[in-house]
């Protein structure tokens, strides 16, 4: 696969991520502090890496910052991106299976190199669920990017449940 990778900090685990992806046979496009002269602000480099996915320049992206939060927020603002901040392998697997996440966000602070490998194993091994309920959730999230607020989100009682009717 071709993977876009960004980090706002030139940390050992970010370098390990590049090396690990290349070791696994992926082509890597680096952004931010991982590329000379690039803009390393977390908002900017995360956006740049994430944009490669819906644009077809990359199959997936991995965006990193110290907490992982800013990188995931920036990536999720890009239309067509479903970015998931993952701090363990179970979450990374779930992000692929249930969320069909196409961007992985990582915390440089929390991700050790052994944990990084576990997260990448889970992230690349898992496939999106074909369960109709899971696909409907993914479609719903995709629709939020441009669509109007749904009755369900407004809290109207619908056939799906009672959300919004509590105290
Ligand atoms: O975790 C982050 C954003 O979510 C950043 O990595 C952290 O805030 C450091 O950024 P800066 O060097 O710009 O202060």
* CB of 67 shorter than 6 A to ligand 1: yes
Let me know if 65 is a catalytic residue.
yes
Q: What is the pLDDT of residues 39-96, one digit of tens each?
A: 999 999 999 999 999 999 999 999 999 999 999 999 999 999 999 999 999 999 999 9
What residues does 107 pair with on adjacent strands? 65
pLDDT tens, 122-165?
A: 999 999 999 999 999 999 999 898 777 766 666 665 555 555 44
Is there an atom of ligand 1 within 6 Å of 42 CB? yes
Matching residue, tokens 């995931």: 72
CA 162, CA 120: separation in Å to the nearest integer?
38
Q: Where are the domains of the chain?
A: 2-144
- Which residues 6+ apart lie within 8 Å of 126 measured at CB? 92, 93, 96, 97
CATH number of 2-144: 3.40.1400.10
Q: Considering only CA atoms, which residue is closest to atom 3 of ligand 1? A: 70
Catalytic one among 45, 64, 65, 86?
Answer: 65
Ligand 1 atom closest to 67 (CA)? 1
Does the pTM surpass 0.80? The reply is: yes
């Amino acid at each position: 696969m071709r993977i876009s990778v960004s980090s706002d900090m030139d940390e050992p685990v970010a370098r390990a991520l590049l090396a690990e992806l290349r070791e696994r046979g992926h082509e890597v496009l680096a952004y931010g502090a991982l590329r000379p002269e690039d803009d390393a602000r977390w908002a900017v480099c995360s956006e740049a890496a994430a944009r490669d996915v819906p644009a077809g320049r990359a199959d997936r992206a991995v965006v990193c910052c110290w907490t992982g939060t800013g990188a995931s927020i920036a990536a999720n603002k890009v239309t067509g991106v479903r970015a998931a901040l993952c701090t363990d392998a179970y979450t990374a697997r779930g992000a692929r299976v249930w969320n069909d996440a196409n961007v992985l966000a990582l915390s440089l602070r929390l991700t050790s190199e052994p944990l990084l490998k576990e997260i990448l194993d889970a992230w690349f091994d898992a496939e999106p669920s074909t369960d109709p309920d899971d696909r409907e959730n993914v479609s719903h999230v995709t629709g939020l990017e441009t669509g109007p607020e749904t009755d369900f989100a407004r809290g109207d009682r619908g056939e799906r449940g009672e959300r919004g009717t509590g105290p």
